[in-house]
Structure 1
Amino acid sequence: MTEPSGGGGERQGRPVVVPAIALVALTALGIIALLGGLDEAPDAPKPLGQGAVLDQGMYMTKFVESRVKVEKAEFSFDDDKRFVELVFDVTNKTDETARVGMPPEQPERAFALTSFAGSLVRISPAFSKESGPFTFALLKGDESQQLQPDVPTQVVVRYRLKAGERPPDKVTIDVASFEEGTSFLNAAPQWEMVSEQVGEKFLPEIKARVTLPVRQEAGA
């Protein structure tokens, strides 16, 4: 028996067919959303060169140059000393005296440091342990290990070259930064290096990768 035309019954909608591949894609997106979304690839460090200025949080730093420095022997039986020097203009932006410090031997040892040189977490090519580093600040001709608040200061990080050793053509520095947090002991504000936990280690986040050509003077 056929239904009379123009009957009062509701018209049945046609079933919608969803392809299997679409269902799989929707399910996958739902799972990703529950897990917190797609992982974003970490940003590559900002590439910088000679003369660049970087805000490191605690410090405002200008990467002045890299050079070969020769210190003439005082006596005829001594040899001249040659160094590869990394030169920075550093301003301590905090309200307290900071230290020049030393570059860390390994990046995973840097996260607890707040000194300026502690933020130079990797220097390439690597120099031997016998070469240094030696660090100091120069203010009005005097050497110091202190960086006074809001006082632009030249900082030198140097490595001694062995007799006959050829200096590199360029030096590349991975530079970290700092942020203001709170001490877990007394909740007082304190500066700390921006780091991330990888397994059981804390690795500094590389804010910039700075490449400096090594300037060589005649006779160096």
Structure 2
Amino acid sequence: MPAAALVAFTAFGVTALLGGLNEAPEEPEPLGQGAVLDQGLYSTRLVESRVTVERAATRFDEDKHFVELVFDVTNKGDETRSVGIPAQKLEQAYLSDSFAGSLLKINPSFGEKAVPFTFVRTKGGDSQQLHPGVTSQVIVRYRLEGDRRPPEKISFEMASFELTTGFNNELPRWQMVATEAGDSYLPEVKARVTLPVKKGGAA
């Protein structure tokens, strides 16, 4: 056997002995408008991203412009859940079991002070609740401050949830899928989403 081949064969054997060849991690699924994502606790359809305008009530007020993310969300659990908000810090996201808490790394950023307003649109008025087995329209709304123009597209990552038991609780509960990172946990990315931002429309 040639020396080069012998070295390669030996290296392969050592690798196999120490636990086998490392498999490349699975890349998060790229998704776009209309796709449906199974998040474990939620089944989510990516409806659209759009610009909406709330017209001024008087001539002394100003029109308000928003960028909205729109989802059709089904709560697959057996308890009513809050729609929640995206975490301001990634290392805090794993603590959430809300739908909006699963939205990660939204790009472009709307600024540190741009906390979104999230709600469930219902026939009887806006709500903060996702009821079991019910498909609801969820809107995550960011206000465009000053003369800021809306982006052409918006991208974000989405986490998922699993039913698991804790150290001090034998009853299974839904938790965000996350991996340990130092003193905290970071959510595992289930999907990467890119949506075009549609212009126009009243809030």
- The TM-score, its normalising length taken from structure 2, stands at 0.92
After TM superposition, the structure 1 stretch with the greater mean CA deviation from structure 2, 198-207 or 48-57, is 198-207
Alignment of 1:24-103 (within 5 A): 24-103=7-86
2-structure distance, mates of 1:29, 1:58: 41
Helix, strand or coil: the match of 1:128? coil
Helix, strand or coil: the match of 1:157? strand
Q: Which runs of 5+ in 1 are unaligned?
A: 1-17
The counterpart of 1:147, out of the listed 113, 124, 130, is 130
Deviation at 1:130, TM superposition (A): 3.0
The answer to whether the 8 Å contact 1:46/1:209 transfers is yes
2-structure distance, mates of 1:155, 1:172: 17
Deviation at 1:175, TM superposition (A): 0.6
* Deviation by residue 1:45-98 (Cα, 9 ceiling, x = unmatched): 211111111111000001111111111111210111111011111000000111
The counterpart of 1:133, out of the listed 97, 110, 116, is 116
> 1:169 aligns to what?
152
Q: Which amino acid in structure 1 is aligned with residue 48 of structure 2? A: E
Identity of aligned pairs, percent?
A: 59
Residue 119 in structure 1 maps to residue 102 in structure 2: yes
CA 218–202 in structure 1, closer or farther in 2 if over 3 Å, else same: closer
1-structure distance, mates of 2:69, 2:85: 13
Q: Which runs of 5+ in 2 are unaligned?
A: none
- The TM-score, its normalising length taken from structure 1, stands at 0.86
* Deviation by residue 1:90-136 (Cα, 9 ceiling, x = unmatched): 00000011111111113222122110001101111111133321111
Alignment: residue pair count:
203
Deviation at 1:38, TM superposition (A): 1.7
Helix, strand or coil: the match of 2:180? strand
Deviation at 1:205, TM superposition (A): 1.3
How large is the Cα RMSD of the aligned pairs? 1.9
Deviation at 1:143, TM superposition (A): 1.5
2-structure distance, mates of 1:67, 1:102: 18
The runs of 4+ residues in structure 1 deviating greater than 4 Å are none
Higher CA-based Rg: 1
Deviation at 1:213, TM superposition (A): 0.6
RCO higher in 1 or 2 (8 Å CA, sep ≥ 6)? Answer: 2
